[in-house]
Amino acid sequence: MRVSKWWFLGVGLYSPFALAAQGHTDPVASVILVVTTILFFAIMGRYIAKRFNQPGVLGELLMGVILGNLCYFAGSQLVIILREGSSIFDVLKEVLQGKTLGQAVDAVLTNSYYASQLTQALSGPNGTEYLKIAYVVDIFSRYGVIFLLFMVGLESSVGELKNTGRESILVAIIGIAAPMILGFGVAYLLMPGSTLQADLFIAATLSATSIGITARVLKELKKIRTREARTILGAAMLDDILGLILLAVVSSVVINGAVDAYTVGRIIVYSIFFFAGTLFLGPLILRRAIYFFRFLEPWEAKLFVSFLFVMSLAWLASYIQLATIIGAFAAGVILHDGYFKADKSSAKESLSIQHLVSPLESILAPMFFMVIGIQVKLETFFNWQVLFLASGLVVAAIIGKLVSGLGANSKDDRLLIGIGMLPRGEVGLVFASIGRTLGVISDDLFSAIVLMVIITTFIAPPLLKARYAVKKKENEHEN
């Protein structure tokens, strides 16, 4: 049994790429192998996290870190390529323009050790296969983020946003401003050589809030209908929008290379116009599209309209130099089942937008978290500076969000609200990955940020539960 197991692993991991490189199998076969393996481990991570009552995202991310680094230290050439994220496509571009592979890699990667590893991996017999697989994995994970943000948007409707109270607004603003200022300070002090752009990007990443994790914990504790919960959820929803605008501003500063009032002002105006324009024109276009597609089956029309709408807004957002995810989020906020004629005649016809899109999201989003995990180079932590930086970011991230509770009514439990705002979850990771794509976040910084996201996401649920336990005791004493 033992022998046959190893034999299987042996062929499973090496031979398929060789076969594909010879062109003798379906070109999709090697992609299927890697994509399915990544998804398999992502599901395992999610499964383990769930069994330990942790958010699924955390399990997927940690599984990515563990698997990625194990494979890297075991010498996997595919992981060497995957670790470098989208910078390998710059390599490809240089090669197609006439550079040799070695020259191209050196031009893109600054670290010569990783560069020589990458050159070796790409020039090997399976290099082309690996490159293509890495590209598909990259694209799948980006589609995953788009569907993820669309689903986040679906959960926050325009109506609800209008009803958020003054307290939520205050909590949201403090929850953005405080971590930004603290984060910028930490980055400035602990990374002496860093650029202003990098410091700003870190600050923006610290300001993110993930509504999903807190909401789930509050649901579990049956506290979702309390005043505190409403304040937290309202603030987190606003934070999503403010955070996305902030991301757009910071990205634009990075792209333009300078912090000037014109750039910042332009992006803020673009963002506001984008949200306002989609909120105004979106429903009109949707109604026309739905009317036009009335000859298709209702579930089909719903799926197609949703898909085309999300993708159009994602592309449009990117076209005016906002991020694709901003468009996806806006599409989610606007779209709801009410646009479509309710037809409950068969089970398939009564499928909601969420039913139709969640298969796409459930398959693709875990890929994103695995890819983020794989890109965390554990060896970067063998460096006191990185550890200091990570600790500083964690402290700034925690204090910044705890302080946000002060925006709430003094009758409410302000500490509880602050704790609820802690987790950065998927939103923080999306910000970090965009920074990496833009080239402003180095390997070291990326590791430190991912650690910050893991810790803030990990501690929030037990702290929330503990705080509720303390409150319960206090109430019992009072009575």
Site for a copy of itself, residues 333 to 352, rule: CB under 8 A: 347-348, 350-352
> According to CB under 8 A, which residues from 254 to 313 bind a copy of itself?
255, 293, 295-296, 299-300, 303-304, 307-308, 311-312
Residues sharing a CB contact under 8 Å with residue 125, sequence separation 6 or more, in sequence order:
18, 21
In the complex, least distance from residue 122 CB atom to a copy of itself, rounded to whole angstroms: 7
Q: How far apart are CA 81 and CA 78, in angstroms?
A: 5
Q: Which residue, 50 or 472, is less far from a copy of itself as judged by CB?
A: 50
Stretch that binds a copy of itself, among 44-52, 212-220, 368-376, 413-421 (CB under 8 A): 44-52
In the complex, least distance from residue 328 CB atom to a copy of itself, rounded to whole angstroms: 10
Identify which of 333, 241, 356, 318 has the alpha carbon closest to the alpha carbon of residue 282: 333
Mapped onto helix, strand or coil, the DSSP state of residue 85 is: coil
Q: For residue 150, what are the CA distances in angstroms to 46, 67, 314, 468? A: 21, 28, 10, 31
Task: Find the binder of a copy of itself among 324, 442, 447, 456 (CB under 8 A).
Answer: 324
Q: How far apart are CA 245 and CA 248, in angstroms?
A: 5
Q: Which residue, 157 or 350, is less far from a copy of itself as judged by CB?
A: 350
The yes or no reply on residue 155 touching a copy of itself (CB under 8 A) is: no
Q: How far apart are CA 371 and CA 263, in angstroms?
A: 32
Q: How far apart are CA 331 and CA 334, in angstroms?
A: 5
Q: Which residue, 246 or 417, is less far from a copy of itself as judged by CB?
A: 246
* CA pseudo-torsion sign 296, 302, 303, 309: positive
Task: Find the binder of a copy of itself among 26, 260, 343, 474 (CB under 8 A).
Answer: 26
In the complex, least distance from residue 28 CB atom to a copy of itself, rounded to whole angstroms: 4
Q: How far apart are CA 157 and CA 152, in angstroms?
A: 10
> According to CB under 8 A, which residues from 219 to 258 bind a copy of itself?
255
In the complex, least distance from residue 455 CB atom to a copy of itself, rounded to whole angstroms: 25
Q: Which residue, 22 or 479, is less far from a copy of itself as judged by CB?
A: 22
Task: Find the binder of a copy of itself among 7, 319, 343, 385 (CB under 8 A).
Answer: 319
Task: Find the binder of a copy of itself among 46, 83, 424, 436 (CB under 8 A).
Answer: 46
DSSP strand E in 340-408: where?
A: none
∠ CA 333-337-341, nearest 5°, is 145
Q: Which residue, 431 or 468, is less far from a copy of itself as judged by CB?
A: 431
Q: How far apart are CA 360 and CA 368, in angstroms?
A: 13
Q: For residue 3, what are the CA distances in angstroms to 6, 8, 9, 20? A: 5, 9, 10, 26
In the complex, least distance from residue 245 CB atom to a copy of itself, rounded to whole angstroms: 16
> According to CB under 8 A, which residues from 358 to 417 bind a copy of itself?
358-360, 362-363
DSSP state of 342: P
> According to CB under 8 A, which residues from 424 to 443 bind a copy of itself?
434, 437
User: Which pair of tokens denotes residue 223?
Assistant: 């506290």
Residue type, 6: W
> According to CB under 8 A, which residues from 95 to 154 bind a copy of itself?
95-98, 100-101, 122-123, 127-128, 131-132, 135-136, 138-139, 142-143, 146
Size of the site for a copy of itself (CB under 8 A): 83
The yes or no reply on residue 36 touching a copy of itself (CB under 8 A) is: yes
Q: How far apart are CA 287 and CA 446, in angstroms?
A: 43
**Binding marks (x or -) toward a copy of itself, 69..98, rule CB under 8 A?**
-----------------x--xx-xx-xxxx
Q: Which residue, 132 or 223, is less far from a copy of itself as judged by CB?
A: 132
Q: How far apart are CA 436 and CA 357, in angstroms?
A: 27
